[in-house]
Structure 1
Amino acid sequence: MKLAFKMKLKPGFKDEYKKRHDEIWPELKVLLKENGISDYTIFLDEETNILFAVQQQDGNQSSQDLGQTAIVQKWWAYMADIMEANADNSPVSKPLVEVFHMD
């Protein structure tokens, strides 16, 4: 199953966001893969600072559902200064509805 959602980057943090994701923690990557999340891509609309994420997942769990794990909570805290975040540091995330897919 493919899942898409959007988040929002704070202005001026494009390079820092990319740098942090280029250096994604190995243990976070393992956790995502162990939970069936793969082919994970994030795009940025530079006009609006909207981050558009797409991920392939086995089952019904997305990366946003792993917030109870210590490593995800640590990642959220690490990212909270450069993107819109909730009180628990989780990114403000809005699911997107698929309206077209071409094979």
Structure 2
Amino acid sequence: MQRYCFCLQVRPDRLDEYVERHRDVWPEMQAALREAGWHNYSLFLRDDGLLIGYVESPDLDAAQRAMAATEVNARWQAEMTEFFQGTDGAAPDESFQLLPEIFHLQED
């Protein structure tokens, strides 16, 4: 399983609504993510809108392609696009910047 971290920028004027939307992510979206190979997926949001995502997957490219093929992801991305800066109108899941892992504390 590979670990991936990414960042995006949420519009500061939309932070509260963005958080609210993630309090009740559609069950069919959650199921699609699991089926596509997204594991231990978390989002963290700083008060200036910096969004950090963490996900584990055997192959993130394959997991993204699998999600792109679903109707529920198309609906979710269409609703989420307006919350982000710097994506030039592209879907957030196609616009995030992957961050390289530079340290990982191994379990004993």
**TM-score, normalisation: structure 1:** 0.84
Q: Write the distance in 2 (CA, Å) between the matches of 1:19 and 1:60.
A: 26
Q: Write the distance in 1 (CA, Å) between the matches of 2:74 and 2:63.
A: 12
Alignment partner, residue 13 of structure 2? 12
- Deviation per CA, 1:47-102: give whole Å up to 9, x if none: 3x210000111334466442232211110111122123444x41131111001111
- Deviation per CA, 1:10-30: give whole Å up to 9, x if none: 012222111111110101100
Paired positions, count: 101
After the TM superposition, which parts of structure 1 deviate over 4 Å for at least 4 consecutive aligned residues?
none
Structure 2: which 5+ runs fail to align? Answer: none
- Aligned-residue sequence identity (percent) comes to 27
Structure 1: which 5+ runs fail to align? Answer: none
Q: Write the distance in 1 (CA, Å) between the matches of 2:35 and 2:69.
A: 15
Alignment partner, residue 100 of structure 2? 97
**TM-score, normalisation: structure 2:** 0.80
Alignment partner, residue 57 of structure 1? 57
Deviates more, 1:23-32 or 1:64-73: 64-73
CA RMSD of aligned residues (A): 1.9
